[in-house]
Structure 1
Amino acid sequence: MKTYIVGGAVRDALLGLPVQDRDFVVVGASPEEMLAKGYLPVGKDFPVFLHPKTHDEYALARTERKTAAGYKGFVFHTDADVTLEEDLIRRDLTINAMAQDDAGNIIDPYGGLRDLHDRVFRHVSMAFCEDPVRILRLARFAARFAIPPQNFHVAEETTSLMQGMVADGEVDALVAERVWQELSRGLMEARPSRMFAVLRSCGALQRLLPELNALFEPGTASERGQQLMQILDATASHASHRQALSTRFAILLHDLALVPAGSDTLSVEKLRVKLADGICQRLKVPAECRDMAVMLAREHLHIKDAASLSAADTVDLLTRCDALRKPERFLEMLNACACLFLEELATDTVFAPQLQLSQALDIVLKVNGGEIASLYAAQPQQIPIAIRAGRINALEAASNAQQ
């Protein structure tokens, strides 16, 4: 029985990056032997065990055979005679197919060290094309390893292989939850635009997010796609703090509407909301990300033009966004708008609408709705009208006081 550190832990250590998790492969052992040594079984599809003290994951060396479409269509074989090389060849990329033994020696049967040095993402074997999740994982790695001195690129033969997978319909077999899992992780990496560039290059973006892919089609729309990617990367690298997933995702979906010039403003706004909501429903996006995406699609231009809003318009905006019940979410949306428009406004100072509307929210939150409601106990239908009027009056009074 021999154990090896494998995969990302070996890769990141060689790159001089922090190692977050260590995965181990065990060669020459059976499930019974692992149990006898006190390891705790956790694997469902194949034997994986937790170390009795460290709780690190130890997987028995295994081979696999494709039996159906999609990422679940595999039969796994584990046995004491499965070699380390047989286990490593089933992995996705050469840089993830290295192992390290107890003495610190690197076992590299498939050229991972060379590709690590050359900063290349290259598939280990044709087994890559049997699992469509690997396209998403590679795209996510491209977003992660996109800052010098990493700055990896995809090998031409691997791009060709992925294009074939897309043409064969493998990507269409991906379930929504898995797509969202990988996309959300890629959005949180250093340069999310690299993930979408890889997905575009192999045709997967057209299958997964055709609404976004349309922004890169030749013509005027292609400029919008590139501008969106620039904003997304700038948001990811924001110096002040690490932007939340819901912020990044909302920025990604905020304006996917392709409409003729001169179209009715309200119709365009409705289309933006419809597209954003449709993607969220299709990918089964968590509620907090869905709500932020739909709200930003609907409100970002209203917020940009906050200086022209009347007190009544401002109260209605806060009401539409449920800002009085969920002020933190509204403030996050203002932050998303700042990410959208600061570059356009050529300033790195405070985004004026963000300051204006956050102050307006503070003022409105201080209006005592319960006290106003008590005055209209005999006329309950007048209560919401009176509370709205009280909030408008508070904003107008604050504005007059500043003049």
Structure 2
Amino acid sequence: MASKPNTLPQSLLPAQPGLEVLRFAALLAEREQGVLDPEDIGLGTDALQPGDLDKVPPSEIWPELYRGLMAARPSAMMRALQASGALLAVLPEVAALFGVPQIAEGQSEVDVGNHTLKALDEAAACSAPFEVRFALLTMNVGKSDSPPEHLPVHYRHVERGKPRVEAMARRFNVPDSCRDLALLTLAECDRIHRISAVRAGPVASLLDRVEAFSNPQRFNWLMQVTSCDYRAYGGSRDGVYPKAALLDTALKVCVELGDGAQGGAADEIQAARAIAIAQAFRSQRWSNEAQ
């Protein structure tokens, strides 16, 4: 009898049981469409015994997680780890997000864990770098233990999430660029989702706070993170994330101010930028209304 064509070759799996499950899940993420076969899920579940992953140091766990996160369908790896019980062992901060509700666009609710997986797949769809994917993986970890009386809103999740993000970064020894973007995302993503074209001052302050002028690469990564998060909520993949487009316009007009905005005190620079942003937003609005 011919072997099932989509069964993972045993030669690709390490001998250590805990690592075998991780490698298995990472390979699933590399499959076309990331399809999970029921028999494969069963194999992964049966392979993991209680305590297996307790014996594996994070330095050996991380390469498998990295491989799956950088694959075409990271959610396939995460689902397989969840089914086997390995997700709770290696990423307990993420495992705790499943079953936690959150308000989405239009006041509907989403499951935070499922939303995280969708956002990771959106990052894979646009070939986002690892910094972006790590930020998406960790940006909601402060929401797992929000007070029940506040749900589905997550007050003070940033304060709860910061030490968890830092602990994950230390545990797996991720590059500083990953940790820094993850912490910036934690602090600023919700604010970016709420920015408005009628409030130029806060937009100017946000650009300064996220160091859009001095660290443009990280700012671009932050825009990728927020765009993937937006699309995971059901935003169109075909168009530009509207808030990213607003910030792009604002950044461009501030850069165009050049030396004219650099000679004054910090508050004067911010005021000049806010005026320029307000004028640009107003012109853009009039242009759109004329079409």
Q: Normalised by the size of structure 2, how large is the TM-score?
A: 0.79
Q: Is the 8 A contact 2:136 2:225 kept in 1?
A: yes
CA distance in 2, matches of 1:265, 1:332: 24
Aligned twin of 1:108: none
Cα displacement string for residues 131-164 of structure 1 (whole angstroms, at most 9, x for unaligned residues)? 53322211101111253899695263553221x1
Q: Do the aligned partners of residues 333 and 207 (structure 1) sit closer, same or farther apart at CA in structure 2, a change above 3 Å counting? A: same
* Aligned equivalents of 1:213, 1:141: Cα separation in 2: 20
Match of 2:137 among 252, 261, 275: 252
**Greater relative contact order (CA < 8 Å, ≥ 6 in sequence):** 2
Classify the secondary structure of the residue corresponding to 1:132: helix
**Higher percent of residues as strand:** 1
Matched, 1:284 2:169: no
Cα deviation, residue 205, structure 1: 1.2
Question: Quick one: structure 1 residues 309 and 171, their matched pair in 2 at CA, closer, same or farther if it must change by over 3 Å?
Answer: farther
Aligned to 1:243: 128
Q: 2:209 aligns with which of 320, 328, 333?
A: 320
User: Which amino acid letter does the alignment assign opposite residue 139 of structure 1?
Assistant: A
Q: Is the 8 A contact 2:158 2:187 kept in 1?
A: yes
The residue identity in structure 2 corresponding to 1:352 is: P
Matched, 1:203 2:203: no
Larger Rg: 1
1:368 to 258, 276, 287: 258
Structure 1: which 5+ runs fail to align?
A: 1-112, 376-382
Overall identity of the aligned pairs, in %: 25
Distance 1:121 1:400, change over 3 A: closer
What's the offset of the Cα at 1:346?
Answer: 4.2
Matches within 5 A, 1:216-231: 216-217=98-99, 220=101, 223-231=111-119
Q: TM-score, normalised by structure 1?
A: 0.59
1:119 lines up with 2:6 in the alignment: yes
1:300 counterpart = 2:189: yes
- For the residues of structure 1 that align with 2:156 and 2:258, how far apart are their CA atoms? 36
Counterpart of 1:215 in 2: which secondary structure?
coil
Matches of residues 4-403 of structure 1 in structure 2 within 5 Å?
114-115=2-3, 117-121=4-8, 128=15, 130=16, 132-147=18-33, 153-154=39-40, 156-162=42-48, 164=49, 167=50, 169-217=51-99, 220=101, 223-236=111-124, 238=125, 241-256=126-141, 257-258=143-144, 259-260=146-147, 261-262=149-150, 267-307=156-196, 310-347=199-236, 348-368=238-258, 372-373=262-263, 383-402=265-284, 403=286
Name the structure where helix makes up a greater proportion of residues.
2
**Deviation at residue 366 of structure 1 after TM alignment:** 2.7
Unaligned runs of 5+ in 2: 103-109, 287-291
Q: CA RMSD in A?
A: 3.2
